[in-house]
Amino acid sequence: MNPSWPYPLLRLKPGKEGMLSRRHPWLYSGAVEAPIEASLVRIADHSGRVLGVGTASATNPLAARLFRFDDGPLDEAFFRERFETALQLRKDLGLWDPEGGCRLVFGEGDFLPGLVVDRYGSALVLQVGTAGLEALREVWWPVLFEIGKREGCTIFVERSQAGRKEEGLEPVNRLIKGSLAGPITIREGAAHFTVDLLKGQKTGFFLDQREHRLSLGRMAQDARVLNVFGYTGGFSIHAGLGGAAEVATLDISAAALDQCEKDWAMNGLDPADHIRMEGDAFELMRGLEPEAWDRVIVDPPAFAKARKDIDKAFKAYKDVFRLGARATTPGGLLWCFSCSQHLDRVRFQEAVDRPARGEPRGAGARASGAAHGPSVWAESSGRVLFEGAAGEGGVMAEEQPPSGSSRPKRVLSFFGAAWGSVSPAVLVIPFGQP
């Protein structure tokens, strides 16, 4: 079906157009004057002046998502321009690798709300999160398929997105086009990873951690590295290739650890230098020798999948980050991550700050940004140190340690770094007395 233009008008309540006038792409149900009856709409203020065009949902509190801020159709020409612009940006950033992985389309970040498209070598994996995009599938899918084929992609897979249920859509996990005999292999820097496009987490792999994995590899020489919630060992393998003396991967999934060990060997690394830790992360970390690991990565799953879970999640983050800090050797590095969108940056910073400052080795603060990071926050004050558009480089800022302290623990923090991630991430550097 190719929905006819013009789409129905969705009128706002008086005074509710403020967010859209600032070009914010979201509109909540409380701003809408009448019940939503169409999945494709032209959004207008109370007087009838059209402000933009987008998709809408009667079942989702996020009632509408704007694709354009003028009065025009979401047609083939529109999607072609959006896809080509997104592709050119990845090429300009040096991310478009026929053997690598990157996010081609990142929803609102590419002005295509509800759509995610990831490249894994010769495969494109897509996620469709709104009923409006489903209604437009016959418009945008042929364009995406054409561009993908032109760029050397022969496999097309679709995976479910969490938001489909709220839009009244059924889950999906399927091969759309091409032939897929099993997992595929991608390259990331010097590392090669196996990716299961139909069974792996998210679209198959955690592409948003690329820059952090590469960074760890540059800082791993002769270090003992602990990768907690390590999944298939992305951080572990970069650490091994970076010259780590010993690497441990901790995860509760036996299948993920099996793949980690296979990929470790596939990358030419000595199995004797890798330790498999299978089980509950909290329990296993409590049994670790304190201050024994030079590089510690703590990248847990989403502890807060809904707002009602925030308080419980906050306690879990504090606990696991405390255990990570406890395991980190004096002078070592600790990476702390969160993928819980409901835990805001202030609470996340507090979850890291409390266990870090609770260490007897003291703490100061330092902040760093990475490309694609929308902002960088000072760990102790919450000041915005850097606002970055896609592809801009980061900055460094450092706070002096408290008066009278010596060799403080320093904290690097970034919000939304790692090539399009919207999760907060913090890097804590202990500099305690050995």
Per-position DSSP letters for 199-266, written without gaps between them: TSSTTSS-GGGHHHHHHHHHT-TT-EEEEET-TTTHHHHHHHHTT-SEEEEEES-HHHHHHHHHHHHH
Q: Do both 160 and 87 map to the same domain?
A: yes
Does residue 271 form part of some domain?
yes
pLDDT along the chain (434 residues), means of 10: 85 91 90 93 95 94 94 97 96 94 93 95 96 95 98 97 84 95 96 96 91 94 98 97 98 97 98 98 96 94 81 88 92 85 78 66 38 28 26 29 36 32 44 40
> How large is the angle between the packed helices 310-327 and 345-358, nearest 10 degrees?
40
Last residue of a domain, one of 43, 68, 93: 68
CB 425 within 8 A of CB 212: yes
Does residue 3 form part of some domain?
no
DSSP-H helix ranges across 267-384: 281-286, 310-327, 345-358
The structure tokens 């701003």 sit at 31
Last residue of a domain, one of 68, 86, 117: 68
Query: Strands 328-337 and 293-298: what pairing?
Result: parallel
Does residue 390 form part of some domain?
yes
Active site residues: 339
Q: Do both 58 and 81 map to the same domain?
A: no
Provide the 10 A C-beta neighbour count for residue 172.
15
Domain around 175 = 76-181
CATH of the domain at 357: 3.40.50.150
Structure confidence at residue 173 (pLDDT): 94
Q: Is 283 exposed, middle or buried (0-12, 13-18, 19+ CB in 10 A)?
A: exposed
The residue among 216, 250, 217, 211 whose CA lies nearest residue 370 is: 211
Q: Bridge-partner residues for 66, per DSSP?
A: 54
Residue type, 152: G
Q: Do both 313 and 358 map to the same domain?
A: yes
Does residue 359 form part of some domain?
yes
Does residue 414 form part of some domain?
yes
Q: Do both 151 and 258 map to the same domain?
A: no
Q: What is the pTM of this model?
A: 0.83
CATH of the domain at 14: 2.30.130.10
Q: Do both 176 and 281 map to the same domain?
A: no
- What's the alpha-carbon Rg for the chain, to the nearest Å? 23
Q: Do both 235 and 283 map to the same domain?
A: yes
Q: Do both 235 and 287 map to the same domain?
A: yes
Whether the bond between 290 and the residue before it is cis, its omega within 30 degrees of 0, is: no
Does residue 187 form part of some domain?
no
Does residue 198 form part of some domain?
no
CB 225 within 8 A of CB 295: yes
Does residue 404 form part of some domain?
yes
Structure confidence at residue 139 (pLDDT): 97
Q: Do both 252 and 347 map to the same domain?
A: yes
DSSP-derived 3-state class of residue 370 = coil
Q: Do both 312 and 403 map to the same domain?
A: yes
Tokens of 202: 């998210």
Q: Do both 217 and 354 map to the same domain?
A: yes
DSSP letter at 344? -
Last residue of a domain, one of 68, 87, 115: 68
Provide the 10 A C-beta neighbour count for residue 315.
12
Q: What is the helix (H) or strand (E) element at residue 134, kind and residue range?
A: helix 131-135
Q: Do both 138 and 261 map to the same domain?
A: no
Q: CA 79: distance to chain centroid?
A: 24
* Gap between the Cα atoms of 229 and 139, Å rounded: 40
CATH of the domain at 81: 3.30.750.80
Q: Do both 219 and 344 map to the same domain?
A: yes
The residue among 215, 428, 187 whose CA lies nearest residue 327 is: 428
Count of domains for the chain: 3
Long-range contacts of 193-196 (CB under 8 A, 24+ apart): 193/101, 193/232, 193/234, 193/237, 193/263, 194/232, 194/259, 194/262, 194/263, 194/266, 195/101, 195/120, 196/259
The structure tokens 């230098």 sit at 273
